[in-house]
Structure 1
Amino acid sequence: MATVTLKGGEIHTSGNLPATGTKAPEFKLTANDLSTKTLADFAGSKLVLNIFPSVDTGTCATSVREFNREASALENTKVLCISRDLPFAHARFCGAEGLDNVVSLSDFKTGDFGKAYGVDFIDGPLDGLHSRSVVVLDEKGNVLYTEQVAETVDEPNYKAALEALLNE
């Protein structure tokens, strides 16, 4: 279990992010077209898993925009934006923003991704949503970098995540 804050108040997650150097846990997530996507679907690409509570909040929306702009310009790199939002919310947001360099994925069906990656909030006002986190994977699905943002309303460290991709 990890402890983070929401506007200064402590909240907890179901576990810890996967350790650097380990194989990323498998997942089944729902894409905007309601198809199922797995980690294997992205084999051979470097991945930035941009994990957040809801695309309908300011900081989450900013992280999607920022990773769309920054990481998606890198060679052989895909940005997966993952939350418990319905796929329709992801599609609405990305469509309205003109964001087409990220892959939006939802953990709404089972929440298994949140459990496997240790990012489910287990208490507090965001109970059941995912904590703001970044996991960077190499082409083989190995974890290169992780960050669980200590204060939920803060943005992730984009620079550190991108450097992990560049220095891989």
Structure 2
Amino acid sequence: MQERTGVTRFKNNPVTLLGSELKVGDQAPDFQVVDSALNPVTLADFKGKTKIFCCVPSLDTPVCDSETRRFNQEAAQLSADIVILTISLDLPFAQKRWCAAAGIERVTVLSDYQEHSFGSAYGVVIKELKLLSRAIFIVNAADKLTYIQHVPEITNEPDYAAVLATVKQEIPTKEIPGDGVCGGY
């Protein structure tokens, strides 16, 4: 498996990322993760939608909690043609419990705990910690990568303004209701 250094740090210490190095314009790699009911979820499940993949180490940490809540709020202003997916290695049961407590209704939370399929395909598995790094990938309706943000320090939040500006250029915003389901699926 490919190893990359110099991309991100954890508490100011360099870490090694495992998996493919992706670039804007690449075809988005397929993956298989699971939802809160342990059902398999793949890239094809969001065909025709613009996808914002938010990779986080663990929802049970303050920064991941804050990030996911922020994207849940921002989702209200986005088109129904845009889905926000938060992916971590947390167990689906813990994710479901966290989502219920946090009131997450507009972000789909998925777990990569079984095979690290997403983490390996998108190059965000931290070798030293066995967690996903903090990164954002925007994949358009044609499944091409249009934006990649590896947060330089994993304990910091992503650049929300850059993510939202990019996705709003692709699809105009509008108010959409939440479906009330964490894990969305």
Q: Are 1:116 and 2:121 counterparts?
A: yes
Tell me what 1:167 maps to. 169
Q: Are 1:98 and 2:100 counterparts?
A: no
**TM-score in terms of structure 1 length:** 0.94
Aligned CA RMSD, in angstroms, stands at 1.2
Contact 1:53–1:131, Cα closer than 8 Å, also in 2: yes
Contact 2:75–2:107, Cα closer than 8 Å, also in 1: no
For structure 1, the residue ranges without an aligned partner over 5 or more in a row are: none
Deviation (angstroms), 1:71: 3.3
Question: In 2, distance between residues paired with 1:11 and 1:65?
Answer: 26
SS of 2:25 mapped into structure 1: coil
Tell me what 2:14 maps to. 10
Tell me what 2:94 maps to. 89
Contact 1:49–1:134, Cα closer than 8 Å, also in 2: yes
Alignment of 1:107-146 (within 5 A): 107-123=112-128, 127-146=129-148
Structure 2: which amino acid aligns with 1:82?
I
Tell me what 1:32 maps to. 36
Deviation (angstroms), 1:16: 5.3
Contact 1:79–1:102, Cα closer than 8 Å, also in 2: yes
For structure 2, the residue ranges without an aligned partner over 5 or more in a row are: 171-185
Contact 2:5–2:14, Cα closer than 8 Å, also in 1: no
Question: In 1, distance between residues paired with 2:52 and 2:21?
Answer: 14
Aligned length: 165
Question: In 1, distance between residues paired with 2:72 and 2:20?
Answer: 26
Tell me what 2:149 maps to. 147
Q: Which runs of 4+ in 1 moved over 6 A?
A: none
Contact 1:78–1:102, Cα closer than 8 Å, also in 2: yes
Q: Are 1:73 and 2:77 counterparts?
A: yes
Contact 1:71–1:162, Cα closer than 8 Å, also in 2: no
**TM-score in terms of structure 2 length:** 0.86
